[in-house]
Structure 1
Amino acid sequence: MWKKIKQILFIILILNVVFIIWGRFLNPPITITQIGGLFEYGKLQRDYISSEEMGNNVKKAVIASEDQKFFTHNGFDYTAIEKAMKHNEKGKKLRGGSTISQQTAKNIFLWQGRSWVRKGLEAVYTFIIEKFWGKDIILERYLNSIEMGQGVFGVEAAAEYYFGKPSKDLTASEAAWIAAVLPNPKKYDPKNPSPYLRKKHSWIMRQMRNVSLK
């Protein structure tokens, strides 16, 4: 029995190593979240593109919205995590402190949810991809795999879905609208923005001035 368990664990380890190496050079064939979106909405709209094809506006908008320390942290923003923990301890609406690196680890390798098991695995994968992939690849994988609408994944598919154009041609304002739906893309719609989404869009536009893609 123990021998079989060790064999299974070894196979899982090998598969993880292969998938991590694969991710260094290629986007994932499909993710658990994408499969979920396909079953829930009956479609999987995505279009993987290179970082160079994305254009700078959408990169700046998403970084401004999600993780302004992306290029300087080691995968974890401890200040944001501490603030999120204090906020959640007060019994208010749950707030996350995840970086783009952590979200990439979750989106590519894991599943959605808030269990301690998933968070622990997320931390391990985050550490590995920060060391093995590097920032540019992490950002490209994130922008290609992130859920950005009902059955819509990645910035290229989002640009086509919301504005009928490739992501490299998005204006700063259009890019900010796409970024504004994060982290609740199923709830918010740039085509019919709520007062909250309009306010967040304006905030992202201001924050984009402070983002440097280095």
Structure 2
Amino acid sequence: MRIEELKSVNESLNLSVEELDKACAFAEATLRERDELVFAQCEKIRLLEEQSEPFYKVHSEFDSDIVLETQDNSEKDLILKLKTQIFITSSTFETKNLKLVKEMVDKVKCFDEEKKVFETKISKLEKVLAQRVKDFDNVKTKLSRRTDKFETCFTNLEKQNALMKLQLASQNYTLLQKENNNLRTSYNELKYEFDKKEHQVSKRIEKYKTYCEELEKENDDLRSTKDCLIQ
């Protein structure tokens, strides 16, 4: 029964490892999304630059000698207004462009920093979990060997007990009863030792279960943090 319980806990640990692998794959997908976001921001900047080019050209034309030689005051006023409007529009495009660049740089920088923290936590969890799985397998192997040893011992004691019962019919009852009592005492001592070891193993199993729950909780917290970052 204990072996089956150990196998169940070991399977849970393996599932935790699979969850961490999925988290790493999700982080890689998030990186690809970030690259796509950067590309989209660059496209926005390029479009803004393309949209601002005509205003620069018109502004240059108004600065030509032909505009300066215009004699009509009303036309000059109109040209000055247009030049002012073009200048303001160009400045607005440049401001938006710089703002987009700054936002993009800040987002990339923030994402990279949080990504490093996230990857470090995942790496530590993977190492700790791998070591715990290794330790757990060692404990399971030792327990299996010890259980086999006690089962063999119990089988031999049962055979000896059966043999003693057969000898009771032909030998002195008192002597055989004493030997039987000694045998029972040895049996009880071995059973006590076995129960003691089994109790210790049960405590270890509870400890490993608690640790696995803590790992799963921390993994859930990391996924929640990652979801917040993506949003």
Q: Which range, TM-score by smaller chain?
A: under 0.3
Greater C-alpha radius of gyration: 2
Structure with greater helix percent? 2
TM-score (structure 1 length as normaliser): 0.24
TM-score (structure 2 length as normaliser): 0.22
